[in-house]
Amino acid sequence: MSGTLYIIGTGPGDPQLLTLKAVGIIERCPVIIAPHGSKSGSSTALGIVSEAVAIAGKTIIELHFPMKKIRTGHEPAPEILAAWRHAAEQALHHLDQGHDVCFPTLGDPAIYSTGYYLYETICGIREQVKVIFVPGVAAMSSCSAALASPICLGDEMVAVIPATFSDERLRDVLERFDTIVLMKVHRVMDRLVELLKSADLIDRAVLVEKAGTSGERTCAKIDRMTEPPHYYSTIIVRKNPSTVRTLIN
Ligand SMILES: C[S@@+](CC[C@H](N)C(=O)[O-])C[C@H]1O[C@@H](n2cnc3c(N)ncnc32)[C@H](O)[C@@H]1O
Residue 212 lies in a domain: yes
Q: CATH code at 109? A: 3.40.1010.10
Residue 153 falls inside a structural domain: yes
Has residue 11 been placed in a domain?
yes
In a domain, 54, yes or no: yes
pLDDT at 41: 80
pTM over 0.85: yes
- Ligand 1 pocket test, pick from 210, 222, 233 with the greatest ligand atom count within 8 Å of Cβ, gives 233
At residue 167, the pLDDT reads 95
Quick check: 80 and 50 in contact, CB under 8 A? Answer: no
| Per-residue pLDDT, 243 | 55
157 and 46, same structural domain? no
H helix runs in the chain, sequence order = 20-28, 44-52, 78-96, 114-125, 139-147, 167-176, 189-198
Q: Distance between CA atoms of 161 and 248, rounded to whole angstroms?
A: 22
For the chain (length 249 residues), average pLDDT per consecutive 10?
A: 96 97 98 87 94 96 83 83 93 97 97 94 93 98 95 96 94 98 96 97 96 94 92 96 58
Nearest CA to ligand 1 atom 22: 233
- State whether 126 and 88 are in the same domain: yes
CA 128–ligand 1 middle distance (angstroms): 31
Q: In terms of residue numbers, what domain contains 218?
A: 139-238
**Does residue 95 share a domain with residue 171?**
no
**Are residues 58 and 13 part of one domain?**
yes
Q: Is residue 213 part of a domain?
A: yes
Q: How many CB atoms lie under 10 A from the CB of residue 86?
A: 14
The distance of Cα 127 from the centroid of its chain, to the nearest Å, equals 27
> How many structural domains comprise the chain?
2
Q: Both 114 and 194 in a single domain? A: no
- CB 10 within 8 Å of CB 2: no
Ligand 1 centroid–CA 182 distance in Å is 10
Q: Compute, in angstroms, the gap from residue 140 CA to the centroid of ligand 1.
A: 7
Helix H or strand E segment including 140: helix 139-147
Same domain, yes or no: 119 and 224:
no
For residue 155, the domain's CATH number is 3.30.950.10
Spatial contact of 91 and 103, defined as CB atoms under 8 Å apart: yes
